[in-house]
Amino acid sequence: MEDKKFPVTLTGPAKIDGVREKPGKRVYVTTALALQLAASGVINPPPFDVEDDAPLGSDFDQAVAAAAAKLAAETIDRTVATITAEKDAELTAAHDEVHGLQKQLVDVKRDAAAKLAEVESRVVSAESLAATAEQRAAEAEKKAAELEAVIAAGSRKK
């Protein structure tokens, strides 16, 4: 299969398809022959035509910078999400511990209230017993005084 031919302008004398051509002449050559002529310095390469939408080095740099920024943002987002999840777990554990301690405090207060009620009941009982004992002691003293009076009266009659 034959290469496609395209036009070039000679800048120096060259032999094209067995014919000597002069500088300035426009000839049609294959890609392989154009490369040989360019290597010999008898043609100037065509000017590079930059299209407006052709990617340039600056476009590549911008794309790399945008990709790096996106990657950095995604990395930060993942890191923040991981740290947030860890801190949420720690916060949940702390809340659970506080709830447990609050429950223990309620239990301790309830037990303390029950013990206090028992102690108060015993104090009331002790006070009641003390009052009864005082009353009985007073009654005993009264009876002792009566007996002493009876004994003293009986000893005077004799």
Q: Sign of the CA dihedral 118, 120, 122, 125?
A: negative
Q: pTM value? A: 0.41
Q: Is 57 left (phi over 0), alpha (psi -120 to 50) or beta?
A: alpha
52-90 pLDDT, tens digit per residue, is 555 667 788 888 999 999 999 999 999 999 999 999 999
User: Mean pLDDT of residues grouped by 10 in the chain (158 residues)?
Assistant: 82 92 93 89 69 66 92 96 96 97 96 95 92 92 89 77
